[in-house]
Amino acid sequence: MIDSEYYSNYKGPQLISAKIWKTTEENNKEDITSHITNFYGENNNWNGKLYKYKDIFKDKGNYNFYFEFKSLDKRKQWFYGIVGDQDQYFPPIIKLLK
Protein backbone atom coordinates (compact mmCIF):
# COMPACT_ATOMS: atom_id res chain seq x y z
CA MET A 1 0.00 0.00 0.00
CA ILE A 2 1.06 3.56 -0.62
CA ASP A 3 -0.18 6.97 0.48
CA SER A 4 -2.45 8.56 -2.10
CA GLU A 5 -2.97 12.28 -2.48
CA TYR A 6 -6.13 11.56 -4.47
CA TYR A 7 -7.70 9.44 -1.73
CA SER A 8 -6.49 11.66 1.12
CA ASN A 9 -8.69 14.39 -0.42
CA TYR A 10 -11.53 12.01 -1.37
CA LYS A 11 -14.85 11.65 0.46
CA GLY A 12 -16.82 8.77 -0.97
CA PRO A 13 -20.35 7.54 -0.46
CA GLN A 14 -21.32 5.22 2.38
CA LEU A 15 -20.37 1.57 1.80
CA ILE A 16 -23.52 -0.56 2.04
CA SER A 17 -22.38 -3.98 0.87
CA ALA A 18 -19.32 -5.83 -0.39
CA LYS A 19 -19.33 -9.38 -1.71
CA ILE A 20 -16.78 -11.74 -3.20
CA TRP A 21 -17.13 -15.11 -4.91
CA LYS A 22 -15.19 -17.53 -7.05
CA THR A 23 -15.83 -16.92 -10.72
CA THR A 24 -17.19 -20.47 -11.00
CA GLU A 25 -19.55 -20.16 -8.00
CA GLU A 26 -22.00 -17.34 -8.79
CA ASN A 27 -24.47 -18.51 -6.13
CA ASN A 28 -21.92 -18.72 -3.31
CA LYS A 29 -21.24 -15.05 -2.50
CA GLU A 30 -19.37 -14.19 0.69
CA ASP A 31 -20.29 -10.96 2.50
CA ILE A 32 -17.04 -9.07 3.14
CA THR A 33 -18.56 -5.69 4.05
CA SER A 34 -16.95 -5.48 7.51
CA HIS A 35 -13.56 -6.52 6.08
CA ILE A 36 -13.73 -3.84 3.38
CA THR A 37 -14.93 -1.23 5.87
CA ASN A 38 -11.55 -1.54 7.62
CA PHE A 39 -9.86 -0.46 4.39
CA TYR A 40 -12.50 2.07 3.26
CA GLY A 41 -12.19 3.85 6.61
CA GLU A 42 -14.30 6.15 8.75
CA ASN A 43 -14.00 8.98 6.23
CA ASN A 44 -14.91 6.83 3.21
CA ASN A 45 -11.57 7.60 1.62
CA TRP A 46 -9.68 4.28 1.68
CA ASN A 47 -7.77 5.70 4.67
CA GLY A 48 -5.88 7.89 2.20
CA LYS A 49 -4.15 4.83 0.73
CA LEU A 50 -3.91 2.99 -2.53
CA TYR A 51 -3.79 -0.76 -1.87
CA LYS A 52 -2.77 -3.72 -3.95
CA TYR A 53 -5.18 -6.58 -4.51
CA LYS A 54 -3.02 -8.74 -2.24
CA ASP A 55 -3.52 -6.25 0.61
CA ILE A 56 -7.29 -6.57 0.46
CA PHE A 57 -7.96 -9.94 -1.19
CA LYS A 58 -5.23 -12.23 0.14
CA ASP A 59 -5.10 -15.49 -1.85
CA LYS A 60 -8.32 -14.64 -3.72
CA GLY A 61 -7.07 -14.70 -7.31
CA ASN A 62 -9.76 -15.21 -9.94
CA TYR A 63 -12.62 -14.06 -7.68
CA ASN A 64 -15.38 -11.63 -8.61
CA PHE A 65 -16.23 -8.74 -6.31
CA TYR A 66 -19.10 -6.28 -6.06
CA PHE A 67 -19.24 -3.14 -3.89
CA GLU A 68 -22.42 -1.14 -3.35
CA PHE A 69 -22.65 2.37 -1.92
CA LYS A 70 -25.35 4.92 -1.09
CA SER A 71 -24.66 8.55 -1.89
CA LEU A 72 -25.85 11.48 0.23
CA ASP A 73 -28.78 11.95 -2.16
CA LYS A 74 -29.74 8.27 -1.52
CA ARG A 75 -28.73 7.01 -4.98
CA LYS A 76 -27.19 3.57 -5.26
CA GLN A 77 -23.68 3.51 -6.70
CA TRP A 78 -21.57 0.45 -7.34
CA PHE A 79 -18.53 -1.05 -8.96
CA TYR A 80 -17.40 -4.58 -9.62
CA GLY A 81 -14.47 -6.47 -11.01
CA ILE A 82 -12.31 -9.55 -10.91
CA VAL A 83 -9.33 -9.98 -8.62
CA GLY A 84 -6.51 -10.58 -11.02
CA ASP A 85 -2.81 -9.89 -10.64
CA GLN A 86 -2.19 -9.59 -6.88
CA ASP A 87 0.32 -6.78 -7.50
CA GLN A 88 -2.18 -4.52 -9.29
CA TYR A 89 -3.53 -1.54 -7.36
CA PHE A 90 -6.99 -1.45 -5.83
CA PRO A 91 -9.29 0.38 -5.73
CA PRO A 92 -9.05 1.48 -9.30
CA ILE A 93 -9.44 5.22 -9.56
CA ILE A 94 -12.76 5.26 -11.31
CA LYS A 95 -15.97 7.16 -11.17
CA LEU A 96 -18.56 5.04 -9.43
CA LEU A 97 -21.32 3.85 -11.73
CA LYS A 98 -24.85 5.03 -11.03
Q: How far is CA 98 from CA 16, 20, 82, 90, in A?
A: 14, 20, 19, 20
**Residue pLDDT, tens place only, 60-82:** 888 999 999 999 999 999 999 99
Q: How far is Cα 92 from Cα 47, in angstroms, rounded to an integer?
A: 15
**Residue pLDDT, tens place only, 10-21:** 899 999 999 999
The CB-side HSE value for 18 (13 A sphere, CA atoms) comes to 16
Q: How far is Cα 38 from Cα 70, in angstroms, rounded to an integer?
A: 18
Q: Is the pLDDT of residue 93 over 80?
A: no
Q: Is the pLDDT of residue 24 over 90?
A: no
